Amino acid sequence: MGENRFGGCVAQRGQLSTFRARRWGRGFPKSAQAAYGHLLQRWGIHLDRESGQSLEPQAFFDEGLAGYAVEIGCGGGEHVVAQALLFPERGFIACEIHTRGVLRLLRSIEACRLHNVRVYAGDGLGLVSRFVPASIDGLFTLFPDPWPKRRHYGRRLFQPDTVGVLAGALRAGACWRFATDCSSYAAWAHACLRDSSMRLVSEGMGVPPRVDWPVTRYQCKAQRAGREVVFSIWQR
């Protein structure tokens, strides 16, 4: 109710998104739920979904930082935590729909005492679509679900319209890092990026093209299974 299909994404009450947030599953203890609520209140991004007001990423942080980057689909947050430790002068916004991953990230933020990470427990596309144009300095989409079956292609994050929305939030010269272990999805995503006037500046097979690109558990899992990982960096 109140939803419609838009280029493979769902428009919910005027907010663009790809998926609904996942809540508690079986075996999720009350103590973990309490920790989730407490930590998300401290480090989370809380939006008025009824408001159509544009957002500035710096508004989510207590202090001014030297640029802001967003990771969509951060999983348990190992990549964004590594980035935040490498670049404490920058702000990072991590988006994830799965509750267990969000809780793992929140606990890592506390354990590492990170002041420069904020968490959005929801669909990153919906958040970034509300940012003012050219307001972020980096974007990470690492191993998004490739939805390999043809009938599911409309569920992919990379669509001409959604890539256009995300690219529009990047400042001129800002970079978008992408990784996948599905070669057909790499070709699909790269075509969408080119059509959105993004320029390929670096590409690697099996090894990230930059030393400041942390290795993740999913990357290791894919490579152990014999799947070739495609890394690419695109510039606005």
pLDDT digits (tens, 9 = 90+) for 3-29: 322 233 433 434 444 544 455 566 678
* Annotated catalytic residue, options 137, 145, 195, 212: 145
Q: 92 in a domain, yes or no?
A: yes
Is 70 in contact with 140 (CB distance < 8 Å)?
A: yes
Residue 7 included in any domain = no
Whether 161 sits among the annotated catalytic residues: the reply is: no
Q: Does any domain span residue 4? A: no
DSSP per-residue letters across 80-128: HHHHHHH-TTSEEEEE---HHHHHHHHHHHHHHT-SSEEEE-S-HHHHH
Number of domains in the chain: 1
- What Å distances lie between residue 185 and 59, 162, 179, 214, CA to CA? 34, 15, 10, 22
**CATH number of the domain enclosing 169:** 3.40.50.150
Residues in the chain, overall count:
236
Indicate whether 34 belongs to any domain: yes
Tell me the pTM: 0.87
- Residue 138 lies in domain: 30-45+53-235
Residue 57 has pLDDT above 70, yes or no: yes
12 occurs within a structural domain: no
- Domain assignment present for residue 152? The answer is yes
Q: Evaluate whether 175 touches 138 at the Cβ level (below 8 Å).
A: yes
pLDDT, tens digit, 9 for 90 and up, residues 24-48:
566 678 888 899 999 999 999 998 7
Strand partners, 154: none
Q: Where are the beta strands (DSSP E) in the chain?
A: 3-6, 9-12, 15-17, 68-72, 91-95, 117-120, 136-142, 170-180, 199-205, 230-235
Per-residue pLDDT reduced to its tens digit, 139-174: 999 999 999 898 999 999 999 999 999 999 999 999
